[in-house]
Amino acid sequence: MKSAPTFSCIGSLVRVLFVALATVGLARAEVATGPAAVTPVCAVSLDTVLRDAGKLAERAGATVMRVEGSSMLPYFGDGSVLVVRPTEFDRLSAGGVVVYRNHLGELVAHRLETRSEAGWTVRGANNPRNDTALVTPDNLVGSVYVTFHSDARIPAGMELANALVKATPVALAASAR
């Protein structure tokens, strides 16, 4: 029997619970931009957070992704790690955060805005306008299940840690393209 996953710091576990609640209850809240939109940080290295996220993803049938960009601040940004679960398109709802593949082939993590017959419009929390691509059943990767935060550092001289970071897919939290 597998044991429960251990987390690097209590802060990581608290953040997991906060993000789960934020995804459900605060998804429609106003978002701070500018100086108040600071990247959330936990005093845990990126490779440790990736390993913790990997343990959870393994149990949840999900994928781990690193975040690059700041369009989803204050929810997540550089140094954050997402656990993304496959989701049926028809189960999506406004305010949820998804990862999809845009027309450039990039993975993007943004919030669902409105649904039309053509698909969902999405936008980063700090972006003034919607993305140019719509989320459709064909480009949807999944929903953000959990967000982990790290200090975005990789310990010096750790080739295995560097390899883990480089092998993890990147989900952009970037301006609309």
Determine the pLDDT at residue 170.
Answer: 82
Domain count, the chain: 1
Whether residue 3 is contained in a domain is answered as no
**Percentage helix, strand, coil for the chain under 3-state DSSP, each rounded to 5:** 25, 25, 50
Q: What is the DSSP letter of 133?
A: S
134-162 per-position pLDDT tens digit:
999 999 999 999 999 988 877 666 665 66
Question: What does the alpha-carbon distance between residue 149 and residue 27 come to, in Å, rounded to a whole number?
Answer: 18
In the three-class reduction of DSSP (H, G, I as helix; E, B as strand; rest coil), residue 111 is classed as strand
Question: Could you tell me the pLDDT band of residue 125, with boundaries at 50, 70 and 90?
Answer: very high
Q: What is the DSSP letter of 4?
A: P
Determine the pLDDT at residue 20.
Answer: 39
Name residues whose C-beta falls within 8 Å of residue 71's C-beta, 6 or more positions apart in sequence: 110, 124, 125, 126, 127, 172, 173, 174, 175
Over residues 86-103, mean pLDDT: 97
Percentage, residues of the chain above pLDDT 70: 71
| Domain range enclosing 96 | 10-25+38-173
Determine the pLDDT at residue 114.
Answer: 97
Whether residue 113 is contained in a domain is answered as yes
Determine the pLDDT at residue 137.
Answer: 98
Give this prediction's pTM: 0.74
φ and ψ at residue 16, rounded to 5 degrees: -60, -50
Name residues whose C-beta falls within 8 Å of residue 160's C-beta, 6 or more positions apart in sequence: 47
Whether residue 1 is contained in a domain is answered as no
Whether residue 145 is contained in a domain is answered as yes
Whether residue 45 is contained in a domain is answered as yes
Whether residue 49 is contained in a domain is answered as yes
Asked if residue 121 has pLDDT above 80, the reply is yes
What is the rounded average pLDDT for all residues in the chain? 79
Whether residue 31 is contained in a domain is answered as no
CATH classification at residue 49: 2.10.109.10
